[in-house]
Amino acid sequence: MEKPYEIVIGLEVHVQLLTRSKLFCGCSTEFGAPPNTQTCPVCIGMPGVLPVMNRHAFELALKTACALNCEIAPFTKWDRKNYYYPDLPKNYQISQYDLPFSRNGYLEIRSPEAEGGRRRIGIIRVHLEEDAGKSMHDEKAGRADSRIDLNRAGTPLLEIVTRPDLRSPTEAKVFLQELKLLLNYLGVSDCNMQEGSLRVDANINIRVNTPDGPVPTPIVEVKNMNSFRAVERALAYEAERQYQEFLQTGKRLGEVPKQTRGWDDEAEVTRPQRTKEESSDYRYFPEPDLVPVVVTEAEIARIRASLGELPAALRERLERSYGLTAYDSDVLVSQGRPVVDYFEVLAQRCGEGKLAANWVQQEVLRYLNEKQVGIESFPIPAERLAELLAMIRERTLDTRRGREVFARMLTTGETATEALAALGFVDVSDEEIHALCRKLIAENPKTVADVKAGKIKAVGGLVGQAKKINPHVDPAKVREVCLRLIGELA
Ligand code: ZN
Ligand code: MN
């Protein structure tokens, strides 16, 4: 059945850059300090002060824009965006209006809904601006108690605006995950949504399929989404709400002003907020206290060369070089570069990418999650784990025993060979296994007949006996050899 409507989503993402000091003064940007302890005359907007641009912040911004495939402007300037709000002590925000430092980029995401499984999400512009302070309203208590913390005021902020290229709430979530991963790989932001270093607003409308063709609903800006999951849920709710409204009122574009709605995570609904400002309300004008920034071709080339291998390229290389599935490469790359580096050493040394990927995902990541530590604190170096995986790969050790050896290596710091010896595991040769299987086949004609008759499961009886006779044999190998020998009997 054809869907009754198509969803159209564009995102506006604000990301705090990982600098030690603010964008136009020397105050610290560290999160969590007591309110108003990281401020100075510049960032609290005292009269007569002069801002000076933090070159490192601009460099991180350039890095991000290059990684997002944007065109970098050779000349960019600053503008004042005027608005009156208590968290903005100057009454204007230093931002970029008509000459942002970058535009026209894209980020490709993997989307099962898109043709070819990929969708290229256009980036309209990326610009740099300063963050505002934080208002803290005591709304729950019902008192008119609002306080202000200006520690955040002046923190470098990137604003990334996408084209309305996203076609579902899930794609919006995937885009944000991909963007966050990219920014983490670049080392430009920690993208911690809880601490507010990544914030998302979304523009969404739907195109309802009617006999007269698709009819768009008015665009709604959704705010107040505090996690990627909240983004997905808020947008799913909002699309359906717009459809219901369309069915009830038949409202056409233009009849209703553009609306801003806030997501209520507990009630799981969006509610109307103040009407959205038009850019003319902000009375932008050029910032007279800052010099424009000139970026040379050489500088852009240097930045591009410094980007390193980014997530999309890395995934593809892992799939190509180690034969990994898209799922496996995605899990590994999402863990960050150090986990990928660990995997690569493991895969190269043990000689099998898929086996290495399985062990990293199942055993290594489980340990890291349990202990809440990073790969740098993992007790078994990749070279040592590779020795164990090589044994499993060559079938001198079965997977179950492999896990026991692994568990011992984790706690003792022994090598695989040492742990193996300590556990008393003995290597069983191919000849021994074959001899054992031939003996069991000769002694169990009933089982053999069953297997021949198609009851393959019956071979389990032989495997069980083999384990009893020699606990060191690999059950999988016994099973395989028995089935082959029985097949040859026929
Ligand atoms: Zn300051
Ligand atoms: Mn902004």
Ligand nearest to the CA of 38: 1
Backbone phi and psi for residue 365, each to the nearest 5 degrees, phi listed first: -65, -35
pLDDT of 252 strictly over 70: no
Residue 272 corresponds to which tokens in the numbers above? 């109307």
What is the rounded CA–CA span in Å between residue 333 and residue 221?
32
Ligand nearest to the CA of 96: 2
The Cα angle at residue 244 between residues 239 and 250, in degrees rounded to 5? 110
Cα of 243 from ligand 1 centre, angstroms: 47
Cα of 189 from ligand 1 centre, angstroms: 20
Cα of 421 from ligand 2 centre, angstroms: 62
Cα of 152 from ligand 1 centre, angstroms: 9
Residue 65 corresponds to which tokens in the numbers above? 């824009």
Cβ atoms of 357 and 324 within 8 Å: the answer is yes
The Cα angle at residue 157 between residues 181 and 45, in degrees rounded to 5? 160
Render pLDDT for 131-177 as a digit per residue (tens, 0 to 9).
999 988 765 656 667 889 999 999 999 999 999 999 999 999 999 99
Cα of 189 from ligand 2 centre, angstroms: 16
Q: What is the pLDDT of residue 21?
A: 97
Cα of 154 from ligand 1 centre, angstroms: 7
Ligand nearest to the CA of 201: 2
Ligand nearest to the CA of 129: 2
Cα of 132 from ligand 2 centre, angstroms: 10
- Give, as residue ranges, everything with CB less than 5 Å from ion ligand 2: 159
SS (H, E, C) 405-430: HHHHHHHHCCCHHHHHHHCCCCCCCH
Cα of 28 from ligand 1 centre, angstroms: 8
- Mean pLDDT is highest, among 158-172, 248-262, 279-293, 421-435, for 158-172
Please list the alpha-helical segments (H only) found in 157-211.
169-186
Q: What is the pLDDT of residue 397?
A: 82
Cα of 237 from ligand 1 centre, angstroms: 41
Closest CA to 408 of 399, 418, 395, 396: 418
Cα of 43 from ligand 1 centre, angstroms: 4
Find tokens 């979530």 and name the residue.
Answer: 173
What is the rounded CA–CA span in Å between residue 111 and residue 326?
12
Q: List, in sequence order, every beta strand (DSSP E) within 295-439.
A: none
What is the rounded CA–CA span in Å between residue 280 and residue 275?
14
Cα of 63 from ligand 2 centre, angstroms: 19
The Cα angle at residue 18 between residues 15 and 19, in degrees rounded to 5? 125
Cα of 153 from ligand 1 centre, angstroms: 8
Q: What is the mean pLDDT of residues 16-34?
A: 95
pLDDT of 253 strictly over 60: no
Cα of 296 from ligand 1 centre, angstroms: 29
Q: What percent of the chain has pLDDT over 90?
A: 77
What is the rounded CA–CA span in Å between residue 152 and residue 89?
12
Ligand nearest to the CA of 25: 1
SS (H, E, C) 204-265: EEEEEEECCEEEECCCEEEEEECCHHHHHHHHHHHHHHHHHHHHHHCCCCCCCCCEEEEEEC
Q: What is the pLDDT of residue 473?
A: 83
Q: What is the pLDDT of residue 244?
A: 93
26 in helix, strand or coil?
Answer: coil
> Among 44-53, 275-284, 445-454, which stretch is predicted with the lowest mean pLDDT?
275-284
CA 211 to chain CA mean position, Å: 40
Angstrom CA distances, 477 to 355, 472, 481, stand at 17, 11, 6
Backbone phi and psi for residue 175, each to the nearest 5 degrees, phi listed first: -60, -45
Cα of 16 from ligand 1 centre, angstroms: 16
Calculate Rg over the CA atoms of the chain: 30
Q: What is the pLDDT of residue 303?
A: 96
Domains and CATH numbers, the chain: 5-297 (no CATH), 309-422 (no CATH), 430-488 (1.10.10)
Angle of helix 459-469 relative to helix 430-443, nearest 10 degrees, comes to 120
Cα of 474 from ligand 2 centre, angstroms: 62
Find tokens 């903005």 and name the residue.
Answer: 88
Cα of 38 from ligand 1 centre, angstroms: 7
Beta strands 134-137 and 146-149, pairing class = antiparallel
Specify the DSSP class assigned to residue 21.
B
Render pLDDT for 73-119 as a digit per residue (tens, 0 to 9).
999 999 999 988 888 999 999 999 999 999 999 999 999 888 889 99
180 in helix, strand or coil?
Answer: helix
pLDDT of 18 strictly over 80: yes
Cα of 99 from ligand 2 centre, angstroms: 14
Cα of 279 from ligand 2 centre, angstroms: 11
Cα of 45 from ligand 1 centre, angstroms: 9
What is the rounded CA–CA span in Å between residue 23 and residue 11?
24
pLDDT of 276 strictly over 60: no
Cα of 14 from ligand 2 centre, angstroms: 7
Cα of 42 from ligand 1 centre, angstroms: 5
Render pLDDT for 338-362 as a digit per residue (tens, 0 to 9).
999 999 999 999 999 999 999 999 9
Ligand nearest to the CA of 279: 2
pTM of the entire predicted model: 0.85
Cα of 471 from ligand 1 centre, angstroms: 70
